Amino acid sequence: EAQVTQNPRYLITVTGKKLTVTCSQNMNHEYMSWYRQDPGLGLRQIYYSMNVEVTDKGDVPEGYKVSRKEKRNFPLILESPSPNQTSLYFCASSLYSGGAGNEQFFGPGTRLTVL
Amino acid sequence: QKEVEQNSGPLSVPEGAIASLNCTYSDRGSQSFFWYRQYSGKSPELIMFIYSNGDKEDGRFTAQLNKASQYVSLLIRDSQPSDSATYLCAVKPQEYSTLTFGKGTMLLVSP
């Protein structure tokens, strides 16, 4: 089944404890992206990747890191989480970044709480 | 600054009615426009996309695009309670660019 998977789905952690949220897709997509979703603020892009070893900042990259060593994986790293990073996180992928109608497929989401 | 604006709602319609969801965008050169549906606590799923002026129909859904007015809408005919969700408008400003999402409109369809 074609899908985007994220792990963990739920995570409660404490301020300053490094964590990684994994994202994997099995559709051979070139483009992958991380979003956070907060009430009243909508979906905001954190980082994106056009292809392996190519990453760039989105609208809210502060406090986050990413890497794209393999085409299928795009982990999100919080080196020192803070309470303002409590949010619902989505990973998404699409075949390419360009082209009209290039659908983004979303993972199931990771609900992160930082105490 | 790329902006995509949607009325937050909720938009309440009775079952069987037509629901009309609207979206405006700031970048006049925007190329592609997407409508996603998101149920509470779930991930967004694509309903349809449009990139040419005019209407595009898919089942009960019709997307309408007017680039001159920088306006895109989604019509849902014969609305069902299962259509109750938040609808996200997303815009691709250029061909090789990322999506910018609006904050979404909540739709409530009452039986």
pLDDT at B93: 77
Query: Residue A18 CA to chain centroid, in angstroms?
Result: 16
Of B26, B61, B66, B28, residue with least CA distance to B45 = B61
List of chain B residues whose C-beta atoms are within 8 Å of the C-beta of residue A105: 46
pLDDT at A99: 61
What are the pLDDT tens digits along chain A (115 aa)? 889 999 999 999 999 999 999 999 999 999 999 999 999 898 999 999 999 999 999 999 999 999 999 999 999 999 999 999 999 999 999 987 666 567 889 999 999 999 9
pLDDT at B48: 92
Asked if A108 and B45 come within 8 Å (Cβ–Cβ), the reply is no
Asked if B42 and A109 come within 8 Å (Cβ–Cβ), the reply is yes
**Is B43 near chain A, with CB under 8 Å?**
yes
- B1, pLDDT greater than 80: no
Q: Quick: pLDDT tens for B29-74.
A: 888 899 999 999 999 999 999 989 999 999 999 999 999 999 999 9
User: Which regions of chain A does DSSP assign to beta strands (E)?
Assistant: 4-7, 10-13, 19-25, 31-38, 42-51, 54-57, 65-66, 76-78, 87-94, 105-106, 110-114
Select the residue from A4, A27, A37, A96 to test the B interface by mutation, using most B Cβ atoms within 10 A.
Answer: A37
